[in-house]
Amino acid sequence: MTRKPANLRELRESGWISKSIKREIHDNFIAQLAAGAKLFPGIIGYQDTVIPEINLGLIAGHDLLFLGEKGQAKTRLMRCLVRFLDEEVPYIDIPGAPFHEDPYHPISSVCKRFVAEHAEDKIPIGWWPRDDRYAERLAPGTKFADVIGEIDPAKLAGGESMSTEEALHFGLIPRMHRGIFAVNELPELDELVQVGLFNILEERDVQIRGYPIRFDLDIFLLFSANPATYNRSGKVIPQLKDRIGTVVHTHYPRSRDAGIEIIEQEARIDLDGEYPVAVPYFMREIVEEVTVQARKSKYVDQQSGVSARFSIANYRTMIASARQRAVVLGEKPAVPRISDLGRLYSSSLGKLELDLMGSHQMSERQVLDSVTAEAIRVVFQEYVDEHGLAEIGEIFGRGVKLEVGDLLPSSHYAERLRRVPPVWDKAFEVNASEDTAVRASCVEFVLAGLYAMDMVSRSQRHGRILYEVE
C-alpha cells in the first residue's frame, strides 16, 4: 500500500490537484456515469423521474432542494451524494485550525499564519474521510449559532478582540468547509438563519453579530422541504429560494409493484428462522394498496402525505401477527391472513393525519378500516377480472358459514373446506390445495373480497368475524 503524503511538500510532489467540492463531485459523478455504475443504489422508482433531475443538478454544479411529501426518500437521496466524493482529501492538520483546510488554499487566519511561518516539509497533512464530510441538521429548533456561529465569550475573556476571527465559535456550515451540509425541512428554519444561509449561498462568507468574516467557503448545500410549507408565503425568504440552483421533485411510487419492492427492501425482516413466514403476494399487494388508498382518501390530509414508512410498519406488523400465531399454535410456516390486518392499528394510528374538513368526525380507526376495506376490494377485483369470480368463489355455495380470526388454527379452515378449486393455485400462485396455512390465507382473502363486493354477509363478535352465504 502506497504511503500517503504526510506533509505539504510530499503532497505537492505526489501530484495531488486541489478541486472545489462541486468540481470534485462533478468529476466523480461523470466518471461513474460513463462507467455505467449504479448511481443511487437502494433508490426504487425514480429512474425516469427524480434521478435525471439530480444528475443535471450535479453536472451543473448547483445546490439542490429536494421537494416532496414525507416518506419520499429525500434524506436518503441527500446522503447518497456522499458516494460522489473522493475517498479522502488532505487538509492542514494543526491544533486550533477551525476547518479542514485545503492545503493549497487555506482560508482561516490560523492556517494562513502557520503556512507563512513554516517550511512545506514542516506543515503536517491529515486525511479527511468521505463519510465525515457530510453533516445534516433538522430545521426546527436550529439556532443561528448552531449552523453559522457566534462570538465565543470564553475567547473574549481570554483577551481576543471582538472584531477578529479568533473570537468566533463557528457553526456546522463553516466547519463543513469542503464538505456537504444538508438542512431538512427548510421552511421550519428561523428567518434569521435563512438570512445567514442566503449570505453563504450568495457570497460564500459568514457574518456573525455584525462582524463580516470574509471566507471563501467551499460547501455543497442541500435542502429538503414539503411543498405545502415551502410554497406557503413567508415560510422561505424569496432571496433564498432564488439562489437554490436545482429543485428536485420527489413522489410516491407510481406503481404498486414498486411500492412492494420498497417495502421488502426497507422492512429488513428475516422470513426464515425457527418460525418461518411465507407471505402470499396478494397479502403484499393489499398492504401496499392500503397506503395507496390512504393517499387517495378524502378523509386524509393529502398535503401532509402518507409516508412509505406507513406501508413498511404495517408490513412488519402483519408478519409479526402471523409469526405470533405460528408460535402459539405450532404452525410452520406462518402465512399472513386478512385477519392479521386487524392488528394494523398499532402501526398505523398516528401516521395518518386526518383532513378535519373531510373526515366529518370520523376517528382514525374508522378511516383506517375504510381504506383497508377499499384496498381489499381493489386487489380482489383485479384477481376476479383475470380469473373469473365463479371459479375463485366456487366453494362458497349457499348456506355456508365460516368463522375467521388471526389466532384460529389453519386446520379450522381445512375442516370446513376440504376441496379447493384448482384455479386457486393458479390465481394466487400458492399451494392452497396442499398447505393448510396457505389455504386459510386464501379463504380469508376470498371471503373478504366477496364481502367487499356485497356477495356475502359478515358479523363480528368476540374479536372474530363470521362470514355467511345465505
Q: Looking at residue 100, what is its pLDDT?
A: 94
Confidence of residue 36 (pLDDT cuts 50, 70, 90): very high
Q: Looking at residue 154, what is its pLDDT?
A: 54
Confidence of residue 243 (pLDDT cuts 50, 70, 90): confident
Higher pLDDT, 230 or 211: 230
Q: Looking at residue 96, what is its pLDDT?
A: 84
> Per residue in 254-291, pLDDT tens?
999 999 999 999 999 999 999 999 999 999 999 999 99
Q: What is the mean pLDDT of residues 219-239?
A: 89
Which residue type, as a one-letter code, is found at position 232? R
Q: Is the pLDDT of residue 63 over 90?
A: yes
> Per residue in 292-302, pLDDT tens?
999 999 888 88
Residue 190 near residue 142 (C-beta atoms within 8 A): yes
Q: Looking at residue 107, what is its pLDDT?
A: 86
Q: How far apart are CA 325 and CA 333, in angstroms?
A: 10
Residue 172 near residue 185 (C-beta atoms within 8 A): no
Identify which of 427, 369, 371 has the alpha carbon closest to the alpha carbon of residue 394: 427
Q: Looking at residue 431, what is its pLDDT?
A: 84
Per-residue 3-state assignment (H helix, E strand, C coil) for 457-469: EEEEECCEEEEEC
Q: Confirm or reject CATH 3.40.50.300 for domain 8-249, answering yes or no.
A: yes
Strands (E), 112-267: 125-129, 134-138, 149-151, 168-170, 179-184, 206-208, 211-213, 219-225, 246-249
Q: What is the CA 119 to chain-centroid distance, rounded?
A: 49
Q: How far apart are CA 391 and CA 393, in angstroms?
A: 6
Q: Is the pLDDT of residue 211 over 80?
A: no
Domain range annotation of the chain: 8-249, 256-468
Q: Which long-range contacts (CB under 8 A, 24 or more apart) does 390-394 make?
A: 391/421, 391/423, 391/427, 392/421, 392/423, 392/424, 392/427, 392/446, 392/449, 393/446, 393/450, 393/455, 394/421, 394/423
> Per residue in 446-463, pLDDT tens?
989 988 888 888 887 766
Q: Is the pLDDT of residue 156 over 60?
A: no
Q: Looking at residue 329, what is its pLDDT?
A: 93
Confidence of residue 424 (pLDDT cuts 50, 70, 90): confident
DSSP bridge pairs for 206: 213
Average pLDDT, the chain: 88
Q: How far apart are CA 329 and CA 80, in angstroms?
A: 44
Per-residue 3-state assignment (H helix, E strand, C coil) for 376-402: HHHHHHHHHHHHCHHHHCCCCCCCCEE
Residue 279 near residue 271 (C-beta atoms within 8 A): yes
Q: What is the mean pLDDT of residues 242-265?
A: 94
Confidence of residue 34 (pLDDT cuts 50, 70, 90): very high
- Count of positions (residues) in the chain: 470
Q: Is the pLDDT of residue 418 over 80?
A: no
Q: What is the mean pLDDT of residues 387-406?
A: 80
Confidence of residue 163 (pLDDT cuts 50, 70, 90): low
Q: Looking at residue 462, what is its pLDDT?
A: 67
Three-state secondary structure call for residue 18:
coil
Whole-model pTM: value is: 0.88
Per-residue 3-state assignment (H helix, E strand, C coil) for 359-380: CCCCCHHHHHHHHHHHHHHHHH
In the numeric block, the cell 486525511 is attached to 127
Confidence of residue 192 (pLDDT cuts 50, 70, 90): confident
> Per residue in 88-145, pLDDT tens?
999 999 998 888 999 999 988 889 999 999 999 999 999 999 999 999 999 888 887 7
Q: Is the pLDDT of residue 252 over 70?
A: yes
